[in-house]
């Protein structure tokens, strides 16, 4: 099963106030195992970054000025997430911004049915507890020391580990059975169990000496 852990950073909290996306990060999972496929970009939001948002992610207007616009990356982004389940922490926030960007371009919105919200999973699993990404990292003993700012790819890496813990899949599923076949695995195990390794004459002699020494120690 292919999934995509996704995170965005924005110029501010609300699309109603005209805020836009400044960064998108995506990491692909295959049976909960991180693959080498990633999608990442910084974006020119065509508006100023709010002071509050800058404190969160650290991206200045000057840094974003020469970056691509959402319209320039949208096709590659949609292709990357196509037919995959999206894993998002606090999906309502990210989806509102992503669907706003898609709406501006006349594109179809991302369907909520294709999204797993880890915030909701955490709320159900740990009612009344803190369920921010940092709090969940602490609960599951995941090292988040690199998270000095909220940056999309680092947050995706952390969220992928949190997600695996939230669904009680402490270790990624092993997919090697599909490659070698169950019958072949049984055969190899069976052949291995039938192998008998006989000790050499020297090993038998050393073992006999060891037993004699052990008996002397036992009696005295």
Active site (catalytic) residues = 150
Which are the contacts of 165, defined by CB distance < 8 A and separation ≥ 6? 136, 140, 142
CA gap 41, 21 in Å, rounded: 10
CA distances from 140 to 29, 54, 137, 213 (A): 19, 28, 5, 51
Q: Note whether 116 and 159 are within 8 A (CB).
A: no
CA distances (Å), 64 to each of 28, 60, 96, in order? 25, 6, 21
């Amino acid at each position: 099963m292919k999934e995509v852990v996704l995170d965005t950073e924005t110029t501010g909290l609300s699309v109603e106030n005209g805020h836009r996306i400044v960064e998108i990060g995506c990491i692909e999972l295959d049976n909960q195992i991180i693959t080498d496929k990633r999608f990442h970009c910084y974006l020119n939001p065509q508006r100023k970054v709010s002071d509050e948002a800058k404190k969160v992610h650290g991206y200045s207007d000057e840094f974003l000025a020469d970056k691509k616009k959402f319209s320039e990356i949208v096709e590659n982004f949609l292709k990357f997430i196509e037919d995959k389940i999206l894993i998002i922490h606090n999906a309502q926030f990210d989806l509102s911004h992503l669907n706003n960007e898609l709406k501006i371009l006349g594109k179809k919105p991302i369907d909520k049915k294709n999204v797993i919200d880890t915030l909701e999973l955490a709320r159900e699993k740990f009612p009344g507890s803190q369920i921010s990404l940092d709090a969940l990292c602490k609960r599951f003993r995941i090292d988040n020391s690199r998270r000095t700012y909220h940056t999309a790819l680092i947050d995706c890496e952390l969220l992928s580990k949190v997600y695996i813990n939230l669904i009680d899949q402490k270790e990624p599923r092993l997919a090697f059975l599909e490659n070698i076949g169950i019958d072949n695995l049984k055969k190899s195990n069976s052949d291995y169990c039938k192998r008998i390794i006989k000790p050499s004459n020297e090993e038998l002699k050393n073992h006999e000496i060891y037993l004699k020494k052990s008996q002397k120690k036992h009696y005295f």
